[in-house]
Amino acid sequence: MLANPHGAERFGDRSYAIISDKYLNFSSRVGYHYSVLDAYCGQTTNKNYITFSFKGGAADDVRRNRRARAIAVVLMACDFSVDVKGDRVDARFAKYPCEVVADKLETIGKLLVFTRQMDMLMNSETSIELVAKNFLEENYNYD
More confident: 9 or 136: 136
Mean pLDDT for the chain overall: 90
Confidence (pTM): 0.88
Q: Does a structural domain hold residue 68?
A: yes
CB 54 within 8 A of CB 68: yes
Residue-level pLDDT at 30: 76
Which pLDDT tens digit goes with each residue over 39-97? 999 999 999 999 999 998 888 999 999 999 999 999 999 999 999 999 999 999 999 99
Q: Does a structural domain hold residue 1?
A: no
Residue 135 clears pLDDT 80, i.e. is over it: yes
Q: Does a structural domain hold residue 65?
A: yes
Using only the alpha carbons of the chain, give its radius of gyration.
Answer: 15
Q: Does a structural domain hold residue 85?
A: yes
Bridge partners, residue 56, by sequence:
33
CA dihedral 72, 73, 75, 76 (to 10 degrees): 110
Residue-level pLDDT at 10: 53
Mean pLDDT across 19-23: 98
Percent of the chain with pLDDT over 90: 71
Residue-level pLDDT at 141: 78
H or E element at residue 106? helix 98-115
Q: Does a structural domain hold residue 19?
A: yes
Q: Does a structural domain hold residue 3?
A: no
Nearest to residue 133, comparing CAs of 77, 61, 91, 66?
Answer: 77
Q: Does a structural domain hold residue 2?
A: no
Residue-level pLDDT at 115: 85
Between β-strands 81-85 and 49-56, what pairing exists: parallel, antiparallel or unpaired?
Answer: unpaired
Domain count, the chain: 1
Q: Residue 100: give the domain boundaries.
A: 9-136
C-alpha dist (Å) from residue 134 to 41, 71, 118, 138, 139: 28, 12, 12, 6, 5
Which pLDDT tens digit goes with each residue over 28-43? 987 788 999 999 999 9
Residue 6 clears pLDDT 60, i.e. is over it: no
Q: Does a structural domain hold residue 24?
A: yes
Neighbours of 95 (CB within 10 A): 12
